[in-house]
Amino acid sequence: MPAVVIVGAQWGDEGKGKATDLLAEHIEYVVKFNGGNNAGHTVVIGNEKYALHLLPSGILTPGVIPVIGNGVVIDLHVLFEELDALNARGIDTSRLRVSANAHVITPYHVTVDKTTERFLGKRAIGTTGRGIGPTYADKINRVGIRIQDLFDESILRQKVEAALVQKNQLLTKVFNRAAIRTEEVVAELLSYTERLRPMVADTALELHQAIDAGKLVLFEGGQATMLDVDHGTYPFVTSSNATAGGAATGSGIGPGKFKNVIGIVKAYTTRVGAGPFPTELFDQWGELLRKTGHEFGTTTGRPRRCGWYDAPIARYSARINGLTDFVLTKLDVLTGIKEIPVCVAYEVDGKRVEEVPVSQSDFHHAKPVYEMFPGWDEDISTCRTFDELPKNAQDYVVALEKLSGCRISAIGVGPARDAIIVRHDMLEAK
């Protein structure tokens, strides 16, 4: 059975967790392959609302084996805090697997992240301050701490000591902060080892064997395409590969194993943090989308920047990720808007541009070219088939499908777990 990848097709917060949960009853493994606790997935089951930051959302589905892959950076305090919270609510977390090659977020990564961001002032990137970027930087600089290092105290101490040589110079001489002591860091990391030990595995091997055995494995991306370190709005991006390609490198599974790639896209657009956003609204419409859509960050609580649907971004995501399907979420938020603008192109320096500009400067100055679509007033939250939607809502979805370069296979019409319309089987071969 081929593997399936789910990625965000905008700047994040599109509803990836819900899409994962929709498919989870068919799936035996759910894998998180990038990012850390810098993004949140919200899943609503009955009257219960679950906000997950580090764990894959498939952990909420009985029988599914959740996996944190090698491409993830892990704050162990957050990991166990999240597990304890789920355990307290009766969720079985005993099946969790953690890659031995995943990198660890240490206290000094968090300190450097927060201190550096404050130092940047008006040039700040909009980091969540959770140590994600500095951890990935250490990974690339080959001075990172991996999960497997926690089980050899001597190696762990040597690695922490080596990493702190430069960081303490930065903290004390540039930022005028106190130096971080090696022993304090080592002691904290070692405090997690015994609880962590049963979870740690060669996850790449286990996933490979599962796929070869015909089991369905779902790869759940953190962040989103436009936050990808290579293909996003650099430098206002995350520090990992949030595209479908990251599923291969972040899990150890070869690209030939992936068959279906599902992109999650909102019926409008949101973003958290700094960076260009062509359709961003600063008027009553932006406030309406924010209020109606409850657009506040799951992880940070920050109000999200809101704007209309951006079709060039959707096409870009479809191309970069090789999407086979879109899941369109939060269509219900648009109910009551008389005319709904959709960005179909940009104007850059007086010229019409059909696709996302490769130049970040051009993208920063891009002005949206809108096409207007008639809205609807009917409550669509109880619709469960496409034909039940008002005609104007159907037309809006069909128009987005034509503009976005990939079929729309499911439509979210409310926050509840079952508030979704399925148009096509996303697990079928294409």
Residues annotated as catalytic are 13, 41
Strand partners, 68: 32, 98
Report yes or no: 421 and 411 within 8 Å, Cβ to Cβ: yes
Rounded CA-CA distance 424/127 in Å is: 37
DSSP string, 364-421: HH-EEEEEEEE---S--TT--SGGGS-HHHHHHHHHHHHHHTS-EEEEE-SSSTT-EE
Question: Contact at 8 Å (CB) between 246 and 224?
Answer: no
Q: Read off the amino acid at residue 24.
A: A
Side by side, which strands form the sheet with 325-329?
200-201, 97-99, 65-68, 29-32, 217-220, 3-8, 258-266, 325-329, 408-412, 420-422
CA atoms within 13 A on the CB side of 380: 27
Q: d(Cα 32, Cα 54) in Å, to the nearest integer? A: 8
**Cβ-contact 103, 135 below 8 angstroms:** yes
Q: Pairing state of beta strands 258-266 and 325-329?
A: parallel
Find all residues with CB under 8 Å of 82, minimum gap 6, and list them: 52, 53, 54, 55
Indicate the pairing of strand 3-8 with strand 258-266: parallel
